[in-house]
Structure 1
């Protein structure tokens, strides 16, 4: 299962915090799939084929700080282990244009990860960290993540999303090492 994290609603659609939604929406569009609302999973779902394998996609309809409710409901319903789950999210500690894969760890202040870890009791799931840059001071973080990226940063975030989609077949096949090597190696 691949989950894109973000905030619902048109007022949040173009914000940095919705980098995870941007990734999952691009994946659905590329696959020619369609979203369906699934109220029991508190979000929208789609099913796509990646590297010859069926993969469930989830876009929580909850706000970011309640994302875990949707993630854990989908894991239970589809009988998917956390270790078989990838959460795509915005990452302050990476510059725009950079995406990184990671397994396990803490939430790093990201509220969607925080809620998911709280409900699971651990952080043993995969993450796709999409760089949005940092505003420079902790007091400016909230307006930064809830604001729109500059035109240049928006283009770079789009490149990071595309780079991540390019290595996704390797990750789905279980070759995370090669996916990470390709995604993390500067071009």
Structure 2
């Protein structure tokens, strides 16, 4: 196993109809990172689109992946990617939307439950562990009585879209910091008020 290698999985749903959805914020972060690394996503035999690169010469190698499956069945591709790259789950960073965090909030954690997130639930089931890094990107709660499933499958609103690029950049920065200096360093930087 390459100790300088991290697997970064951005969760979302496949296809252009879902591209701007709140549920696809993980895919969006992976795209920001791929642009930084001048890496292009290519179809991979793990049922994912994969891009690889380094933030700086000699720095950690990042394998960026967007499962080609729907969110609720992300576990198979993630487990296959870990096997393909001979990585343990402690080298996995999963980027996902989080209804329980206000919009424009970023939290980093290791382990824990799935919190009702079906993508995380499937990854935990497929890998047999909860012990991986999560980048939780707050999308807020649905307004009024709107169903949560309906809310996550809608695009960000106009005001949110104005702030979204900064949020995606912060998440990409956090991932690069985790890979270079560890989770604690990233938490200290991004969890401070």
TM tier, smaller: over 0.9
What is the 5 A alignment of 1:1-187?
A: 1-38=7-44, 40-50=45-55, 52-136=59-143, 140-186=147-193
Structure 1 portions without partners, runs of 5+: none
Displacement, 1:136? 4.8
Structure 2 portions without partners, runs of 5+: 1-6
Moved more, 160-169 or 54-63: 160-169
- Find the residue that maps to 1:100 and give its secondary structure: strand
- How many residue pairs match? The answer is 185
Displacement, 1:113? 0.4
- Find the residue that maps to 2:176 and give its secondary structure: helix
Structure having the larger proportion of residues in helix: 1
Give the TM-score, by structure 1 length.
0.93
Compared CA separation, residues 174 and 16, structure 1 to 2 (3 A): same
**Alpha-carbon distance in structure 1 between the residues aligned to 2:136 and 2:9:** 12
Compared CA separation, residues 13 and 106, structure 1 to 2 (3 A): same
Which whole-Å deviations, capped at 9, do the CAs of 1:91-130 have from their partners, x for residues lacking one? 1011111111110011111111010011122211000001
Is the 8 Å Cα contact of residues 36 and 55 (structure 2) preserved in structure 1? no
Q: Which 4+ stretches in 1 moved above 3 angstroms?
A: 136-139
